[in-house]
Structure 1
């Protein structure tokens, strides 16, 4: 009996060791003779969450006897291996018991140790969100599908990949201000105070920014002469997409026609204004995948200015300037401005202007289409030659004798424009001659003639000609008639009558008598008294006062003057 007790005391000295991640060593007698040890403190956790390695290889028997291992892992699982790998299927605290027994068969052959372990199955992070979303629009993230087997409330931590976070809620809303690819991290926490109390899930979402449609210039101005020029090229190359998506381009040309393409050409059929719409789409099929831009196309009908033909006018002449022949084929109203070349201007399709000085003037017309100002003015001009009237005068004798040739000289005529002059002579006797500046003419009858010369500079204007006139006397000599010879008495008054004298031209005649006795007198009918008897040569000179060589005529006769007999009575 004593031997048995001693043996059991020695058994009580049996050493054991169990490794529950940590090494626990102790011994104590139990009421049933087994050695029992309960390890106090917090449950032991594993770095592998719900996976544990239970190692009893450190247990030993002082008697060097073989040891039999028996594990009760607390979840209904047992094992007789010194080292046990075990995975708990649920989270919780489990009491793990190791029994070791030697082969002595004594009541103290078994030692028992227990340790509480805490197994934790990590929570499972899960969330739903659209894979493609639009910038600046609310995006919903829902982590309600995350779970934990303990069914305790989870903590949620959201990392949106743009530097912002959200915590505490399973369902959150986020607005991304910029397009791009974002990594979204959800971390769920079961608050188990184990190393595996969290789980993180990563998802990638694509945040789309709308493309930026750019149809080019806001307004395209086209000035055309006709419909054949109404071709417009549209270019959307300046359109952009920050996400570098593939873009498609659709055009509505505003005239009922449409087309596709980044660059496209369209021909319009009518003058007018068109609102063109560009629609740019990316390949996301999102509501934010479309952008619109507008451009206005304005066509204006180019006018055509017609200033009229070149003209020749005179100083002071009121000249009509008419632009109504200027044209515009379709829409619009013409406005006109004239530049007369002398520093003066006027507005209007029909205007008048007077030039004060001779010269050559470039009169310019500028017409515009008042529909809009996109077309440059159309310009035309006409040359206005303001003619200088020539000057002319006639140099000739005032009077000539019938039968003599008369020289007429207009060579002093001048034209300040340097034009060559034509001379047209009219001699007043019905004869007309186109000749040079110097002419000779012989009149067939006496008389006074109105000679004129017209000089013409050939410009065809009302001031292209000038006229000079001269009066010429073609004189026919008068015929003197002093009457027949006469006899008269001394101291008797005698009549001398020249009334029979004539002048074919009807000129007024002047009469001069020379009575042959040293006396003379004037008049057609005169009286004279001789004081002495004798024969006297009486002469009559008449003058038609034409101051020509043939203006005078002379006639004469012999006058016998008898003295009365003298009676003498001698009375003796």
Structure 2
């Protein structure tokens, strides 16, 4: 008996016990409740038995695992260790054991049993694998399986083997009987037909065979190819039917053996198309052969004669400049025109304005604006002729232009001023490149520039416009500048980059200090940008891609100086431009917003 709200008791014996709880209050009233406790005897783990199994090499064995449980509980088995020389598969207490291929000797694995409460002892299954003799494996190799009679074939059995390492013997036979013994054999089949060759490989207890079918065809007479000749005109293709005969009338295929030296050749079946090299005449040749299903013919030669014909001459000329303002002096150069067979006899020019000329090098003055089609006709010594044409664009004079550079009318080291004012530029280092439209000058950001001489703006109006392309800004990169030095007040007019990447315009009027305006936003790089700077007597303005980006009040007459102006740098080579400049114009008129937009969209 025990009192208190919590109690503990150990039942030593098995059986069914009734436990009663009685609760008493302060008034002596009692209430009782009972519960049965069942005590079962302790569990005993199952016992697994060691087993011994015997089987033959390369066979499998079902092994029933054995274990007893005195409590008669349901038993499950588990593998404790795997065999070393085989594989096992456990299912419902039965193990399927499969030894490794060709292995014999001893092996083992272990297992245990569980009754769901406890795991019993580990038992061992000892396995003995008895050796058995393995048959050899025959592998037949042959140098060929088909050919014409007489056909000699080399046979090889060296890849045959016996896993037990037994000594092997070899026998070679066909439908005509045994023809050789030994690992290597050679046999000649004299007659056409099909022969089944059998290799028999034997050890002391058994044998294995391998077979191969040999097809011997009747002797084939090769085809005969014929020598041929063909004639064609210079620059004209010719198709040649290749000729060959086969005594057995078998279908033939054709192959080119050597290519021609002075032309190209394509082959389609027995049709060879020969195309002589451009303008070649004289002799040429190629060789070919024909094949039936078994043999190739002799090599035959096709001799080719290419007859000379007169070729048309080639007309070509350069125009310098191709555009400009009237009156425009244009130089025409046809010296690159030619005739492949000799000299050109004459050069005939039609300048498109009613005038004509003769000779390889001619000059012509266009007095009036317009678009002119220039035609050159060249004639060779045989009377054959050819012509080509180009366009010359002559623009009217712009009374407000001080200097105008389209970069398309120039070459070499001269930048042509097409305004008619002869403010031509001397190129120093800058190189010609693709532009916004046509050509442009590329400045390397180191020491390139163009000196346009003593260009001055006077009065109280001006416009400078240009297309620019920067590869990356350096330090105060100059687009155009007229200045006696680097200081702000040294500048008479200038467009450049300031503050790293902002567009800047400087202008001096009268005797005043040079005025500067700078855009608030960055100038893009690696793309074409249109810049315009204007002064109308009361305001300086700066535009980028047709949009006003900076302005300030300014009055007075534009200051002048005899110092030279430069494109792509400041005087002395300072502050060089890094990129391209194209289509630059200097005017003594202030363009308005609409005119600037029109210029941007041209």
Say yes or no: TM over 0.5.
no
Give the structure with the higher percent strand.
2
TM-score range, shorter chain: under 0.3
Larger CA Rg, structure 1 vs 2: 1
Per the normalisation by structure 1, the TM-score is 0.26
